[in-house]
Structure 1
Amino acid sequence: MNTNTLPAFGLGTFRLKDQVVIDSVSTALELGYRLIDTAQIYGNEAEVGQAIDESGVPRDDLFITTKIWTANYAKDKLVPSLKESLAKLRTDHVDLTLIHWPSPKNAVPVAEFMGVLADAKAQGLTRQIGVSNFTVALMKEAIAAVGADAIATNQVELHPYLQNRTVAEFAQSQGIRITSYMTLAYGKVLHDPVIEAIAAAHGATTAQVALAWAMQLGYAVIPSSTRRQNLAGNLKAQTLKLSDVEMAQVAALDRGERLTSPESLAPAWD
């Protein structure tokens, strides 16, 4: 089994730029968030690094995740690009580095980029490695390259309307943690009558219910927000416990509704 530890709850920074991301990260750290998730393609690593640096939170208390962009998968590009990310993030290592999407048209084979990522870990540039947007077939290739124990997580779109069970069950069978991104489905699930009813029963917000549901299934979540009230509210999802009946009610909402599937990047989804 995978013994790597990955916090169950953190802050996502997708689509947040400039002062907006600085403010979001600063507020989150002030409120008690300790996992911050970014990516090379987000174009905000330097701002995230600035916010972390200015927060005064000791580096050892933080868990920083970044993701390598597809243009940097080749053997001669991956490590230099990661070092560039570290410079922007103002740290000598990240806690987790992910392959952001499968290599388009398999331009760089899975075995090649996973091997280089494992080298980056051996060099101390990243504590853990993992993948994102990987199907079962791609996870099998990654496992063949570096072993399941080396893969901390597969970060995938997963929310009540897209529960991605095939991928989740395979990952869990290999001891690979699932990180759910877009757990609130771009806000769509916040107005779902089933989730509203569960929220009302607990005196909670619908966001808290969706996040608690994912964490109760063993997934890590990384919701983003720019509002202090929502950042603080989301944090409380960690203490919300849903009943078996409520978990089953949310399970029944699955409708295979995928919101992120860029034509140039998306694999043949399970």
Structure 2
Amino acid sequence: MQRGGAKVFSAGIRNPGLSFLICVVITLAALGSIAFGVIEMQMAGRETLGSGLKIGLAILPAIIGPLMAWNFWWGTKVFASIQRGENVIGRWTVTAAEVAEFADIDKVGSAQGSAVPNEWSPSRETPPSGIEVIFAKDAVLVGDTYFALSITGPFRFTSVRMLSGRQQTIAFETLLTLANRFGARTTAGELRIPVSRAACADAGRVVTHFSCVAAREIAANPDFYRSRIRFGMLAAPVCFAVAALGFVLRSILGGSE
């Protein structure tokens, strides 16, 4: 397991609505490419280099695109539900001055090696009104960035504590597992969230809740597996559609020989 080092990937999700639209565009472009490839084969009476490239390069985006689009569409729903206050256990606004102080402390700690790079980084320009921090039972929305807070999955936390000092901070010890061509690598990190000076009670409630989650005393999201089942029910028709497309292409190619 690797720890520390420069942060090259963040598990935070920003602007899922835009990501959803991008995935939809990519999916439509991939399906269009496949359709043009099929038409080109029919007109030529055989598979050509162009038709093969149009279909071959578009197959993977056509499979992954709808699944990613669903994921980001679900993300927009999660953003909206948290902002509406559903399942919220703590909510506060960190002033622009507090954000600046937090960023300075975070930067100094990372530079001196006393703290690993933070999974969340404040924007270069903080709005004059500050940023809102909203903790749900299994997630946190920091400004415009969403982090799932689970003890399972590729991005997970193992413990939580309150850091005292000039700027109170909630710190989650995290693990991030990513796959590569050699296997999988797990990196230890930390997610640090600033606490408003006026939100000590809310922050204490958040730390208590997630400490119980880490100790497996409570389930943060009892519907976790239900949502995965729903995702599987969506993914299955997509896979069947891709398989059916393969049979159609095979029949077309077989008929043109």
Give the structure with higher Rg (CA).
2
Name the structure where strand makes up a greater proportion of residues: 2
The two structures have a TM-score, normalised by structure 1, of: 0.22
